[in-house]
Structure 1
């Protein structure tokens, strides 16, 4: 695996894949695409949005991670029925989590997510493996250009939870990951009531020195899942989360 180093390059404009995500999400929310409907094929989406195949696949993987689509190998991607809302585990939007709360949530993740990784190693599908690999490729690319990596980080963990085949893992880990993967740095830049809300994936400079270690740990988890090695995936995920907890502690000092 190639190790990337952050650069001073100017962050790119919002990704092309976001345009595809937004377009398909709007069709799903408006009812133009209903549960059970097959989304347009890759060539059709490529032509419609003027993007490459890799961009379309990234968008589809993000919609999978968001629970909007499922992909059947050799057949296509289909719209999922809306799930019954469950109460979130994290504080209400806008609430600022204290360090101790974030560490407590990471502690809870340590008791759950290694087992999710083990189940994912036993139950993963080729489509979810490809989507997880795409998320980690995106993480590496964004890190190498100095961009925010939180969206790709969150997507990897959510896809892993989906790979368990257990919707309750997905719900719990989505809530915990969204609270402990930093995406709110910009919200602290201004106390003005007119300040804009932080964009999803806002960089967290204080944690940037640990991003290369995070990338290596993510790939170790994925490789164990790819091998079908449940014990290895469990151990790799435990090490990743435990190291993340230590990095969070050190960044606060």
Structure 2
């Protein structure tokens, strides 16, 4: 019989470390300390100077990108934009404060990343497949060591975008940043390590199915595997939310 799990589901507060770092950087831009065209400090430099994790830095930088204040140049770094160049389409990370909004973003990702997986299967190089395999191994190690695996999860999806060899998929995923990983914004299973490990093992298995299809250059299988993975992620989030609200149960 399936075990009933009641996860701890908590929304991050608006003044999270990432939000504070994003505000500090945006204030520096507003004051002119960081001017249009200037390169932002590297991830390593910000981790050292602010005393925060790489995940916090990535989410803060993602916030700046979504606000139209910064833009990534592949292989070079992240640069400050002129305020007048704000893109018409944007996702404000601070608006992703409800399960409903995060599910909406997952639905957008499902349509986009399913096609990205198919293109990656058709176009990936041997070197790109190796980087994808390394990202998959990172996820496996996170599961084995009972880590949350957010960075590894993000890296896996980012490498798939890279393997499309389509700059727009690559730039869009860079724009989404850590917003793309639901549990980077919502604490799932914080008080239930066993439930979190079971959840991450399911994610890891789904990643393996995607990887296998891309390795075999089977575009349709890759498309279906990615669609299944993100649909499952949406459904798991819905069930976790309902359980935390006392409206349902979550089965492992």
| Band of TM-score, shorter chain | 0.5 to 0.7
Question: Could you say which residue in structure 1 is the equivalent of 2:202?
Answer: 213
Deviations 1:35-85 (A, max 9, x none): xxxxxxxxxxxxxxxxxxxxxxxxxxxxxxx8653xxxxxxxxxx476896
Aligned residue for 2:184, secondary structure, equals coil
Q: Is the 8 A contact 1:133 1:222 kept in 2?
A: yes
1:98 aligns with 2:98: yes
Q: Say if 1:207 and 1:171 are closer, same or farther in 2 by CA, change over 3 A.
A: farther
Question: Could you say which residue in structure 2 is the equivalent of 1:162?
Answer: 162
Q: Say if 1:203 and 1:124 are closer, same or farther in 2 by CA, change over 3 A.
A: farther
1:125 aligns with 2:125: yes
Deviations 1:87-127 (A, max 9, x none): 474314x5552111111111111111111001001111222
TM-score by length of 2: 0.57
Q: Which has the higher contact order (CA 8 A, sep 6+)?
A: 2
Q: Which runs of 5+ in 1 are unaligned?
A: 1-27, 32-65, 70-79, 189-201
User: Which piece of structure 1 moves more, 163-172 or 216-225?
Assistant: 163-172
Question: Could you say which residue in structure 1 is the equivalent of 2:226?
Answer: 237
C-alpha RMSD of matched pairs (Å): 3.2
- Give aligned pairs, total: 167
Deviations 1:167-225 (A, max 9, x none): 11122234446224122457x9xxxxxxxxxxxxx999675432111101101111111
Deviation at 1:162, TM superposition (A): 1.0
Q: Is the 8 A contact 1:148 1:204 kept in 2?
A: no
Alpha-carbon distance between aligned partners in 1 of 2:206 and 2:235, rounded to the nearest angstrom: 14
After TM superposition, the runs of 4+ consecutive aligned structure 1 residues lying more than 2 A away are 28-31, 66-69, 80-90, 94-97, 171-178, 202-209
Q: Say if 1:96 and 1:29 are closer, same or farther in 2 by CA, change over 3 A.
A: closer
Q: Say if 1:152 and 1:214 are closer, same or farther in 2 by CA, change over 3 A.
A: same
Q: Is the 8 A contact 1:118 1:231 kept in 2?
A: yes
Question: Could you say which residue in structure 2 is the equivalent of 1:183?
Answer: 184
Question: Could you say which residue in structure 2 is the equivalent of 1:153?
Answer: 153
Question: Could you say which residue in structure 2 is the equivalent of 1:76?
Answer: none
Aligned residue for 2:210, secondary structure, equals helix
Question: Could you say which residue in structure 1 is the equivalent of 2:109?
Answer: 109
TM-score by length of 1: 0.57
Question: Could you say which residue in structure 2 is the equivalent of 1:15?
Answer: none
2:212 is aligned, of 199, 223, 230, to 223
Alpha-carbon distance between aligned partners in 2 of 1:212 and 1:84, rounded to the nearest angstrom: 39
Q: Say if 1:221 and 1:243 are closer, same or farther in 2 by CA, change over 3 A.
A: same
Deviation at 1:143, TM superposition (A): 1.2
Q: Is the 8 A contact 2:154 2:180 kept in 1?
A: no
Q: Say if 1:225 and 1:175 are closer, same or farther in 2 by CA, change over 3 A.
A: same
Q: Say if 1:176 and 1:150 are closer, same or farther in 2 by CA, change over 3 A.
A: same
Q: Which runs of 5+ in 2 are unaligned?
A: 1-38, 43-71, 243-252
